[in-house]
Chains A and B, each alone.
Chain A
Amino acid sequence: MLTNFLMIKHYLLGVLLAGGLQTGFAEGPARINLSDPNLVIVGDSVIPIPLEIFASLDKLGAQNWAAQVEKRDIVLDTNRSRTAMLFGLIVSDGFIAVQAEDKEGVKRMGREVLRLASSLGVASSVEEHANSIITHAGRGDWAVVRKELDRTRQTVVDQMKELRDEELVDLVSLGGWLGGTEALASVLKENYTTEGSDLLNQIDLVKQLNSDLNSLPKRARRGKLFSQVAQTLTHLESLMISDETGAISEGKVIEISLSTRSLVNAIYES
Chain B
Amino acid sequence: MKADSSSLIVLKRLLSSVLAATAICSVSAQESKESGAPFVVEQIDPIKLSAQRAALSDLTGENPFILRESGWTGIIKPGEARLVQIQLFRRNDYQFWLAMGDRKAEMNLNIYDGEGQKIDNEAITYDEPNVVSTRLKPELTGVYYVRISLKTTIEQPQKWSMIYGYR
Q: Give the interface of A toward B (CB within 8 A).
A: 17-34, 39-42, 44-49, 51-53, 55-56, 59-60, 141-144, 146-147, 150-151, 153-154, 198-199, 201-202, 204-205, 208, 246
Contacts and interface: CB of A to CB of B under 8 A. Distances in A.
Contact of A42 (B1, B13, B74, B120): B74
A42 B83 contact: yes
B140 A144 contact: no
Contacts of B57: 17-19, 21
A55 B112 CA distance: 23
Residue of A52, A53, A150, A151 contacting most chain B CB atoms (<10 Å): A52
Contact of B72 (A30, A42, A52, A60): A42
Interface string B53-87: 00001000000001011111010000011111111
Contacts of A40: 80-83
Interface of B is mostly: strand
Contacts of A144: 6, 9-10, 13
A204 B164 CA distance: 20
Contacts of A26: 108-110, 121-123, 132, 134
B143 A205 contact: yes
Interface string B1-24: 100111101100100000000000
A49 B10 CA distance: 18
B120 A25 contact: yes
Given A30-B118, A31-B117, A146 B66 contact: yes
A46 B68 contact: yes
